[in-house]
Every structure is written in structure tokens, then in C-alpha cells.
Amino acid sequence: MRHRKAKYKLGMRTAHREAMLRNMVTSLLEYECITTTDARAKALRSLADKMIGWGKRGDLHARRQAMRVIRSESVAKRLFDEIASRYADREGGYVRVIKKGTRPGDRAPMSVVELVERSPEGVGKKSAQKPKGLRERIREKFKSE
């Protein structure tokens, strides 16, 4: 019997689900805004709130617990130094899920997951680091000639 075992299973095995959520929470804390499906966003929300709660606690044990989940040391450092201090006066609800519409390929319902109090420099950070595609490189090459 599964009584009182409420958890989002997301149609995948446990190891796959845990790895996916770890990657997603790392990306959320790094970029402060990501787009994903509704079900994954709802599953991510509780894990991200837990990470920020550990960041607010700030002791060694909380750091070690967070490092079991977060994939990057730089993101963990940012969580404990910058992000946790932003939410010092907030009791909970650090993550916002906004319905976006449907994905064109399979009509899956999509959502935007973002931190409630985002920093302005965190916005658009991912697009600035995105490597240029072949078309952009060819256009720049012929534009300069």
C-alpha cells in the first residue's frame, strides 16, 4: 500500500527522476529562471524550496546536504552567499511557477519556474553564454568582409 507516500513520479524510474531534478535545481539556482513542463515544475518547486532553506540555515551540515543535490560547487557557493541572504526575511515560497502554454512539438503544458526575488543580472544570463550557431558565424564572417 502507498498510503501517505505522495511524490511526483513523472513516469520514470527513481534514479532517473532524482538525477533530472538535481540537474534542474542546479540550473534554476544558476540562471534563476528555467522553462520546463508543468509536472516537472511542480516536482522541482519543493526541492528548490528545500535548497534555499538549507542555504538560509548556512551551517556545515546544511552545506553538505545541499552538495549532495547540487551538481556545481560554484552554484552551491552562490546559493549560500547570495541567494540565501535575499530570502532572509521570507518564511517560504521562494519559487514561482507560471503557466506558459503548450510546447509546439507534443502539446505538453509548459511552465516557467523562477525565483521570486530574482536579481536583474541573473536575467538572460544563459542566452549570453550560448555558443553561436553555424549560421551566426557565417553571417558575421561575410558581414565583416
What is the tens place of the pLDDT at every residue in 20-76?
A: 999 999 999 999 999 999 999 999 999 999 999 999 999 999 999 999 999 899 999
- Residues counted in the chain: 145
Tell me how crowded residue 13 is: count the other CB atoms within 10 A of its CB.
10
In the predicted model, is pLDDT for residue 125 greater than 60? no
Task: Convert the pLDDT of each residue in 87-109 to its tens digit.
Answer: 999 998 999 999 999 999 999 99
CATH of 14-118, one of 3.60.15.10, 3.30.413.10, 3.90.1030.10, 2.60.120.650: 3.90.1030.10
> Which carries the bigger pLDDT value, residue 12 or residue 124?
12
In the predicted model, is pLDDT for residue 85 greater than 60? yes
In the predicted model, is pLDDT for residue 78 greater than 60? yes
Is pTM beyond 0.85 here?
no
pLDDT at 128: 46
**Rounded distance, CA 31 to CA 113, Å?**
11
Confidence of residue 82 (pLDDT cuts 50, 70, 90): very high
> Which carries the bigger pLDDT value, residue 69 or residue 127?
69
pLDDT at 127: 47
H or E stretch covering 101: strand 95-102
**Rounded distance, CA 33 to CA 114, Å?**
4
**Rounded distance, CA 53 to CA 44, Å?**
14
Q: Using the 8-state DSSP alphabet, how is residue 1 labeled?
A: -
